[in-house]
Amino acid sequence: MDFITREEAQEALKRGERVLFHYQGKSTEVTLDTDLNDLRDAFLAKFLTIDDVVNGKYSILRCHELKVCPEYFETLEKRIKTFEIRKNDRDFHIGDVLILKEFDPETNNYTGRTVERKVTYITNFAQQEGYVVMSIV
């Protein structure tokens, strides 16, 4: 993962990108309005200091928009299906966000329904060459 400075994170947020703040092995999404108390609450860390925030690790949140057929979208929406098998042509990483958009191949159009899921685990075990299984929440 490529980390950026707080200043770079603020510039990315101004450009409309999504940014994560990392602390003690965990991460949370931040905005231009996120303050120290918000981060303390997010990490349950009452001793998080302003120096931790100023000198902390930030990263750009990687988002991938992906088409999903209607027969799979229902189970994704209801959180029954908690994985995605995809060709790894986007260099997926743990922490990436999948923006899963229902696509109807019969009409060749998006339906307008979308769900967002975070990648929590990736493996290529027993997959076709170049494919991965991603656990998503």
* Whether residue 48 sits in one domain with residue 33: yes
pLDDT at residue 25, rounded to an integer: 85
CA pair distance 52, 95, nearest whole angstrom: 21
* Whether residue 29 sits in one domain with residue 13: yes
* Whether residue 22 sits in one domain with residue 71: no
* Whether residue 102 sits in one domain with residue 84: yes
* Whether residue 101 sits in one domain with residue 76: yes
Q: Which residues of the chain have pLDDT under 50?
A: none
pLDDT at residue 26, rounded to an integer: 87
Structural domain includes residue 41: yes
pLDDT at residue 105, rounded to an integer: 95
How many distinct structural domains can be found in the chain? 2
* Whether residue 67 sits in one domain with residue 12: no
Structural domain includes residue 73: yes
pLDDT at residue 54, rounded to an integer: 94
What pTM was computed for the model? Answer: 0.75
pLDDT at residue 113, rounded to an integer: 98
pLDDT at residue 95, rounded to an integer: 87
pLDDT at residue 2, rounded to an integer: 85
pLDDT at residue 1, rounded to an integer: 72
* Whether residue 45 sits in one domain with residue 106: no
* Whether residue 45 sits in one domain with residue 33: yes
Give the domain extent around 24: 6-60
